[in-house]
Structure 1
Amino acid sequence: MRYGVLGPLAVQDAGGGQVAVPEAKVRALLAALLVHGGAPVSADRLIEDLWEGRPPGRPLNTLQTKVSQLRRALGAEQVPRTPAGYRLRLEAGGLDAARFRDAVEEAHRAGGPSERARLLTGALRLWRGPAYADFAGAAFARDEAARLEELRLDAAECLAEARIELGDADGALPDLRELVGAHPLRERLHALYMRALYRAGRQGEALDAFHGLRTRLRDELGVDPSAQVGEVHTAILRREAAEPPRSGPPERPRSNLPAPPTPLIGREAESEHLCRELRAPDGGRLLTVTGPGGVGKTRLAVAAVRSLRADFPDGTWLVELAGVDRRSSAADIAERVVTVLGLCEGAAGAEAADLVGWLCGALAGRRLILLLDNCEHVVAQVAEVAGALLAAAPEVRTVVTGQEALDVPGEAVLPLPPLALPPASAGPGLEPIAASGAVRLFTERARAASPGFVLTAENAPAVAAICRRLDGIPLAIELVAARVRALAPERIAAGLDDRFALPTGPGRGRPTRQQTLRAMIDWSWGLLTGEERTLLRRLAVSPDGTTPEAARALCPDRPPGGRSALDLLSRLVDRSLVVRDGDRYRLLESVAAYSAEKLAEAGETGEVRRRFVAFHTERAELADARLRGARQRRSLEALDAETVNMRRALELAVRHSDAGSALRLVNALAWYWSLRSRLGEARRSLAAALALPGGPPVARAVAGAWLASFEGRPGRADAADPVLRARLLCSVGTSLYREGDRGAGRRLVEEALAGARAAGDRWGEAAALAERADHRVDAGDADAARADAERSAELFAAAGDRWGRLRAGGSLARAAELDRDRTAVAALLEEGLRGAEELGLWGEAVETLLCLGHVAAAQDEAARARRFYARALRLAAERSHERGAAEAAARLAAAGARSPAAAPAAPPS
């Protein structure tokens, strides 16, 4: 069976014939199963999706009838039932949306514009109308349809970009004009439209398009066009045929703040105050939002900071510290900030002891907001970092959330009270009750749980009583509002009266509001099944959220016929105990603390921590194996997403003297740290693992060799695996050569090359050849260097390794430079730049832009050289690549002041 959702719902059988699916609810059932991509969907979820809070009588029986009708249309085997629910059997390529995503991903990996245009044209032909067109008003399809439409727009932009590169600007213009009309504020689209107009000889229209966009942005958003659009405008004014923006990330993201899943309610005054303080030139540069757990500190801070993105050109950044060990140092906090901002710490050679100072220097002169969230367990360390930033970076605003102030000079504190409660003696009518923040929040969350819920004169007194009983604590209100699906407000209010007449157990002795929150979490806990309780308490060990796979690893003892981890997670989300963030599931801080207590009470803490460490160690090893091939980009992204949990796993292994796991973990992450230039983290982590007694001697030797490589000193790996041994020799040899010990470096690389060939390791051979090619360039032997680099590029291409192609391309470019074949050099460097941007290798991207600038200068293209140097300078400054920034500034000054012939004599090596 093949299914189509990129337009009206369509079904085809194996022969290509149309399959009729009768009745609207049966078609909706099929669409709901397709939204989940073949994953099981619980009966409860399907009932909610199909009837949206207004289920028929005997809903399970009605659902089974709809499933039977769908099976008759498709075949019984196509809609099997599993313990986790119903699912749709989907074969590879059976869903047009999946084929579209795969084609777009392949296009982004493609090298030349012709191939990109071919793949994107085919992908866009799959669309027959809006995604899930038959279900535009259905809540279950809304998010997936929006994601597909955004991907469709991105593909259309990339296709237009490829056509412009191919010289078909006239052909790209009709589609671009239609897209610009439909998306009048989308800046990358306008940049492409302006370039296409200019390339088609319509400079006046291109300038009119820019002025129209600028006017709309100022009138509707109060902002100016981005730097990307400004560069296009400048190039058009100067009549410079600048290259179109490349596919991949068109512009560095300026924020990592999550989009709020629900609107902020009842905090208008506090949000306005926070925004006013942050925006004012003489306002607070360090603001701490304090309050008890569950009062909504994070939600307020994220919403306020998110609204200020246009005021802070260097970004608004969330640094989550809930998963940081309380014994961490200020340098560990600084390292988290460096990682979130994507700064090139490795390019500066910063050590842990100096990382706070390095961070201050990197942020000096930038205008940005740092939101350091959940800091109550590391108050002293955060105070040290925040105080240093206060003194060294006057344009940086720091917002901190926690249960106490930092007590730093210059700090402004905003104590966050509970939500406003309805008056105790409200008169007749709804207005006095409905106006309070607590009731507004309850009403909105109750409506989300049960779409038919309405605040009425009959239920308003009960809702007001609930909010008063809960002291206006947002999290407690949300937990209770989720029960409206099963209980009327009057029943909930009566249940709360009974509950608060009973002792609250471990909550005794806490402040009243914390007892209230504790009671509500207790109540929610009591309504869970045994499986749900087991998973919830075990999730407390994951500081940065979890995936369904990780949740399964924490609960391998699922009873026969039990629910799947994904189904359990979905049920916990429905109960407001777990928050879904994309494909990750997180605990709120108060729920996490409660769950940790329950984990200890169950006597499972040690065992669950061992499972957590084992799972992330295995995941790191699996990702490491995939970092050298076609799945490199996805593996990098997976490790990026799990950074906090990986660090937590290493902390636990070190704390409990589990040398075996610690050594396995650091050895698996070493190549990832190298690719991401996290040299300081690599040195510290390897040293911590090696300081533990015991562990397999081979793993210890491998970790020692990796540490020697990162420290630039001699070292050998007595690894039994000849492939691993050769790769480590190459890594150490490369490091020694670049640190100045060229003789030793050359010998180790030669030994590594021989070892890789003997072991049949094509990847290791390619890496050693690329390094040896650079040695031969330095010796002036262009022919030998070119031969090595070409063979390296061939082997890396066969492996599908994007970093390897970048590495070999750099060596080929250097060899071609010796022959003055500058056309070949530029083509190789352009390919390398695309690879560096795709993988987020910003140091390599800076170096490649410098090389491209040099080549342009040598070809008497001064304006083009300046553009490359300017891009390099911007990127280096954004990522705090100090050496690259200094080099780019010097070259930019030289290109502007002297003739191209006076440019530097050789590209950077």
Structure 2
Amino acid sequence: MPDLRVGVLGTLEVHVDGRPQVVPPGRQRAVLTCLLAHAGQPVSRDALIEAAWRDDVPHNPPKALRTVLSRLRTVLGPQSIEFTPAGYRLSFATVDGDEFVDLVRRARSTDPLEASDLLERGLALWRGPAYGEYADAPYATAVAQSLEQLRMEAVEARADALLQLGHPAAAITALQELLVDQPFREHALEVLATALYHAGRQTDALDLLRNHRKTLAAELGLDPAPGLADLEAAILGHTMKSPRAVEAPPAWLDTSTAFVGREDELSDVAASVVANRLSMITGPGGVGKSRLAAEALPRIHRELGLPTTVVELAQVGAHQAIAAVADRIGLRSTSEHDRDHPGRPAADCDSTRPDLTSAAVVGELVAYLEAVPHLLVLDNCEHVLPEIATLASTIARRCPGTRVLATSRHRLGVPTERVLPLTPLRLPDPATSAGRQEATSSMRLFIDRVRRLRPTFTLTPDNRAQVVDLCRWCDGVPLALEITASRVASTSVADVVEFLPGDLTRSDLHAVVDWSYRLLGAPERLVLQCLSVCAGDLDGPSILGLIEHLGEDGQDLSGALGELVESSLVVRVDVEGGTTGPATVRYRLLAMVRAYAAERLADSGRAADVHRAHAHWVRTVLEGVQQDWSREDGARLSARLTAHAPEIGSALRWALDADDCELAAGLSHTLVRCWHWTPSPPVRDLMAAVAETATRYPGPTTAPGLAAGAFIAAEHGEVARAAELAKEALVVSDAGEVHTTAYLALAVAAMYAADLRGAQRHFTEVARNPETAGEAHASLALTACYADDLTAAREHAAIALTACSAGSDHALAFAQYAAGEVRARTDPDAGMSLLRQAIAEAERVSAEQVARVARIALFARLVRDGASDEAVPLGLILITDLRRLSAWNQIWTLLRLLAELLAANGRWSDAAFLWGAAAAGGAPPPMGDDVERYAQLEALLATHLEAGFRCRIEDLAAATPRHRVLSRAEDLLARWHRAGRSEPPASDAR
């Protein structure tokens, strides 16, 4: 029976087995529309005659109708229209109108996140007015109007869902379009006004409501509904609470294809993760472990409501898994003096954290997940099982709110693990009936994948047995079935069977991949081998660029990529566009295919050449970004670096392993010069390793690595090591760029050593380079400010703002921050305005550390101005951010500021607790006017708290683990924020 799909949400469309069919206009289209409008119910002969001819009835209407129906069956299929005693009806058809109604119905009974997705899918089905040219026909009018009404309700419902999810801007356009045609739909008006308000457009929201009131009175003589009047009052009074943005679970795999035969397993996984702290999906390669986890993720996310992080471990090497998990969650083993604020004094920086050991990283991870429970998905663990077993069991034991879902060919072997074995799909039995064969999950998947590439494919008596044999040869392994199906789609069942290796006995997945690989041409094999050295997914131009670095003509190989996708050896990933660029298409290898391609590359003898080409291609990419750093939009440049981050780490690692110190040094130094973009901790560790290697081969070609390593060391507070590397770079190189980086490292190290004069001297050297002059003057403004030389600070800040306005967006954000710090000393309002500008610009271009230090500076100013209404929510944001980074010196600074705020509001016990915890935790000593301010705070605490009582509070604070101190502060701020008062609620600090 053919697959008949009909579209009525617009002009009538018909597809049979995936192919468009033309239904001639006139009587045939009218009769088909009449049948569709009755939704599968019988339609009398007279009604169909009326639809076909209206007032021009033929001499023999029944005979003429039979002729029309016969011609329709020729187009739709011989069994598409059947006759019953009550009349004619469509016997089978998938109608987009029915799909739309079902999606809307499902959206009404689910959460906003899924409802938004369902409604978006439903509204995407519309191509025009329902039933097109027949919308006004008597037999279609009612159903067309019903669908149109439902469409408008769906637009409103989706906008409402987006609003609940915290995405007001996304809700606005569709509602505005709806109100053009339906200006009196008051629910749409209500949702649009609310969305405008939450998008920061209060004036537009008020104008909308006032114009509606005037129009309603003028045209209908009516007043708006009471709810709209209440909404207007709420907007005027700013009493509406902003909805909290809800993030969807990450989509790390393409789940757009049909998910066949795993209904029970899907339910089991979701139930297991909800009920157990550690769940492990096990099974052979290619059986679909990752896809099952990806399919279950939205369901689990809706059930648990936890932040979700997916860590793909397939490309992670030994002893790197724990660092990869920490990096993916966002924990950063970093000092608080980052490249994003090289002028920040040591007092505000964390110089106490060296590179963390695995045990220390596990401790940081556990402490973070204990405070902020997550749903953690660890994909492809089999090659790093010992590390993951240690981490997962520790999380399960100490983080009761966190859930871990892992996939591996082998179980972890820890007591807390709930194992979920995944077996291949059920195989067809050659001895059973055709219907039972087609019902097996392996055959359903095989046929679905063939038809995705060749919609006309059908099972016939001639090919059925061969298809059964192919499914059995693939052993029911989904990846093997997909690869084989792609071959069938491009040739035929018989051709594939003919070229199978050996007899049709069961095969393993490696053999299936090998068989498909041998059918490739030389260009496709080369592209697949090149992709095997890539750490992540790449877009088409990047792949061609890599191939050209190998000395091949990338354009000649551009068609090979499409062939690999059609062969299911390469996965195409569609990436949605955003503020940093348009939508893109990227390509990736599955773990099993990557391993096989790497084996073939090693066999070819070209592995070193391909890895070297990859590393040089990465260097070309980095040089292009660095050259554009002061010319192009900063957000897009940061996005380019982020997209290539896995390749940067891979290239650095290979260059080190290959002892190509010159290449490694060039990569490291070019990356450092993308100022204010922070690489991941593993990449920074590699950059430090490059510097250590360069010390064994000092010279002009390795000096860039020395300078970059000096900067990395300075960021970590390794003052002596930074000075050694920087001075060596200055000795062995005359290059101006190397000198700039080395002097910057010396300046940062001097700041850590609280040597303001030394820092000023080195920043002055940095200012000699026009490329970094603006940022150097921003740092000089900060050092002068900390030295209480406000005249010099203002001069440097003015130069920095002027210079950076013509430079990179990242530098501009840093200059705004520095100018804000300086200006706030004499003009708090103007200073806070600059700090807010710095935060907005830093967030836009992903200069994370600039945004962070600017927020802390803004928080300090708000506290000291008594603006608790704004300080409290900002403090909550900072706690969340700093906890993720384990940025303890900045956390202690934040808690001292919070102690100031509490003391100013008479909460002396809470203030003493946080003050004591910061002191016991090793908070940096205050500098500048903070010295006097904190002395006054200590005096106030001594005045208001009896000495013995204060000592007991300080002892309690010192004995409380630092993560619990932070949680206590967060709880206090959260209760204060919920209370909505200018002073904190009653505390149980005593």
TM-score, normalised on structure 2?
0.63
Name the amino acid aligned to 1:764.
T
Aligned to 2:600: 598
Q: How far apart, in 1, do the equivalents of 2:169 and 2:454 lie? A: 46
Contact 2:691/2:709, CA 8 A, preserved across alignment: no
Match of 2:870, SS state, is helix
Structure 2 counterpart SS, 1:400: strand
Q: 2: CA distance between counterparts of 1:733 and 1:478?
A: 58
Q: Does 1:270 align with 2:269?
A: no
Deviation at 1:449, TM superposition (A): 0.8
**How much does 1:688 deviate?**
4.3
Partner of residue 754 from structure 2, selected from 737, 740, 744:
740
Q: In structure 2, which of residues 297, 314, 321 is the aligned counterpart of residue 333 of structure 1? A: 321
Change in CA separation of 1:642 and 1:558 when aligned onto 2, cut-off 3 Å: closer
Q: What is the SS of the residue equivalent to 1:356?
A: helix
Is 1:607 matched with 2:609? yes
1:378 and 2:384 matched: yes
Decide whether the 8 Å contact of 2:194 with 2:205 is kept in 1. no
Residue 252 of structure 1: how far off its partner (Å)? 6.8
Once the two structures are TM-superposed, the CA of residue 443 in structure 1 deviates from its matched residue by: 1.7
How much has 1:889 moved relative to structure 2? 5.5
Residue 360 of structure 1 is matched in structure 2 by 366
Q: Offset of 1:599 from its aligned partner?
A: 1.4
CA distance in 2, matches of 1:260, 1:525: 25
Deviation at residue 580 of structure 1 after TM alignment: 1.2
Equivalent residue pairs, number: 709
Cα shift at 1:493: 6.9
Aligned 8 A contact 1:620 1:669 in 2? yes
Gaps of 5+ in 1: 1-23, 25-48, 57-128, 138-149, 165-169, 205-232, 503-511
Deviations 1:522-560 (A, max 9, x none): 332233222112211222111323333443344349999
Aligned AA for 2:684?
A
1:73-472 equivalent positions in 2, closer than 5 A: 189=195, 192=198, 196=202, 200=206, 240=238, 255=250, 257-280=252-275, 283=276, 285-325=277-317, 328-329=318-319, 332-346=320-334, 347=336, 349=353, 351-353=355-357, 354-427=360-433, 429-430=434-435, 432-455=436-459, 459-472=463-476
Measure how far apart 1:792 and its partner are. 0.4
Structure 1 residues 371 and 364, CA gap change in structure 2 (3 angstroms):
same
Query: CA RMSD of the aligned region, Å?
Result: 4.8
**1:568 correspondence with 2:582:** no
- Aligned counterpart for 2:710 among listed residues 686, 691, 708: 708
Corresponding position of 1:803: 810
Letter in 1 for 2:816: G
Change (3 A) 1:264 1:882: farther
Rounded Cα–Cα distance in structure 2 between residues aligned with 1:595 and 1:171:
52
Q: CA deviation at 1:417?
A: 0.9
Q: CA deviation at 1:201?
A: 10
Q: 1:238 to 1:286 in 2, by over 3 A?
A: farther
Alignment equivalent of 2:524, drawn from 532, 535, 543: 532
Equivalent runs, 1:373-772 vs 2, <5 Å: 373-427=379-433, 429-430=434-435, 432-455=436-459, 459-489=463-493, 491=494, 494-495=497-498, 499-501=501-503, 515-556=507-548, 564-582=556-574, 583-671=585-673, 675-676=677-678, 678=680, 681-691=683-693, 697-712=699-714, 713=719, 714=723, 715-716=726-727, 717-718=729-730, 719-753=733-767, 755-756=768-769, 761=770, 763-772=771-780
1:464-501 CA distance string (max 9 Å, x none) = 33212211011111011113334444x257437x6332
Larger of the two Rg values belongs to structure: 2
- Say if 1:792 and 1:190 are closer, same or farther in 2 by CA, change over 3 A: closer
CA distance in 2, matches of 1:837, 1:278: 34
Query: Is there any run of 5+ residues in structure 2 with no aligned partner, and where?
Result: 1-10, 23-122, 132-157, 211-230, 337-349, 575-584, 912-925, 935-990
Amino acid at match of 1:813: G
Contact 2:249/2:297, CA 8 A, preserved across alignment? no
**Residues of 2 paired with 1:778 and 1:652: CA distance?**
43
The structure-2 alpha-carbon separation of the partners of 1:364 and 1:195, relative to structure 1 and needing over 3 Å to count, comes to farther
* Contact map agreement 1:860 1:901 (CA 8 A) in 2: no
Deviations 1:702-737 (A, max 9, x none): 322333333232233323222441343124303421
Contact in 2 for aligned 1:255/1:315 (Cα 8 Å): no
Distance 2:193 2:474 in 1: 46
| Corresponding residue for residue 780 of structure 1 | 788
After superposition, the C-alpha distances for 1:675-698 in whole angstroms (9 at most, x for unaligned) are 326467424532245326765712
Change (3 A) 1:278 1:238: farther
Matching residue's letter, 1:650: L
Instruction: Provide the C-alpha distance between the structure 2 equivalents of 1:314 and 1:371, rounded to a whole number of angstroms.
Output: 12
Task: State the shift of 1:851 in Å.
Answer: 3.1
Distance verdict in 2 for CA 1:463–1:842, change over 3 Å: same
Aligned to 2:915: none
Question: C-alpha separation between the residues in 2 aligned to 1:875 and 1:293?
Answer: 38
Given that 1:256 and 1:317 are in contact with CA atoms closer than 8 Å, whether structure 2 keeps it comes out as no
Do the aligned residues in 1 keep the contact of 2:653 with 2:686 (CA within 8 Å)?
Answer: no
Identity of aligned residues (%): 25
Assess if the C-alpha contact under 8 Å between 2:790 and 2:822 holds in 1: yes
Distance 2:190 2:497 in 1: 53
Q: Which moved more, 1:599-608 or 1:850-859?
A: 850-859
| Contact 2:486–2:568 (8 Å) recurs in 1 | yes
C-alpha separation between the residues in 2 aligned to 1:163 and 1:856? 33
- The alignment partner of 1:407 has SS state of coil
What is the CA distance between 1:437 and its match in structure 2? 1.2
SS at structure 2 position matched to 1:200 = helix
Superposed, 1:865-904 pairs within 5 Å as 865-877=871-883, 880-885=886-891, 887-888=893-894, 891=897, 895=901, 898-899=904-905
Tell me the secondary structure at the aligned position of residue 777 of structure 1.
helix
SS in 2 for 1:780: coil
Give the distance between the partners of 2:378 and 2:667, measured in 1 at CA: 27
1:837 correspondence with 2:851: no
Note the alpha carbon deviations across 1:206-230, whole angstroms, 9 max, x for none.
xxxxxxxxxxxxxxxxxxxxxxxxx
SS of the residue corresponding to residue 691 of structure 1 reads helix
Task: Give 2:985's aligned residue.
Answer: none
- 2:831 is aligned with 1:825: yes
Whole-angstrom CA distance in 2 between matches of 1:308 and 1:554: 39
Per the alignment, do residues 574 and 657 of structure 1 end up closer, same or farther by CA in structure 2, a change over 3 Å counting? same
Please state how far the C-alpha of 1:896 moved relative to its aligned partner: 6.2
Q: Contact 2:430–2:437 (CA<8 Å) still a contact in 1?
A: no
2: CA distance between counterparts of 1:788 and 1:597? Answer: 58
Distance (Å, rounded) in 2 between the aligned partners of 1:471 and 1:901: 69
Secondary structure of residue in 1 paired with 2:377: strand
The alpha-carbon deviation at position 656 of structure 1 amounts to 1.8
TM-score by length of 1: 0.68
CA shift at 1:815, angstroms? 1.4
**Farther-moved stretch of structure 1 (547-556 vs 786-795):** 547-556
SS of 2:405 mapped into structure 1 = strand
Distance across 2 between alignment mates of 1:683 and 1:641 = 19
Aligned to 1:508: none
CA distance in structure 1 between the aligned counterparts of 2:665 and 2:181, rounded to whole angstroms: 53
CA-to-partner distance for each residue in 1:765-803, whole Å, 9 max, x for gaps? 11110111011111222222112111101111111x222
Q: 1:764 Cα deviation (Å)?
A: 1.3
The one-letter code of the counterpart of 1:485 is A
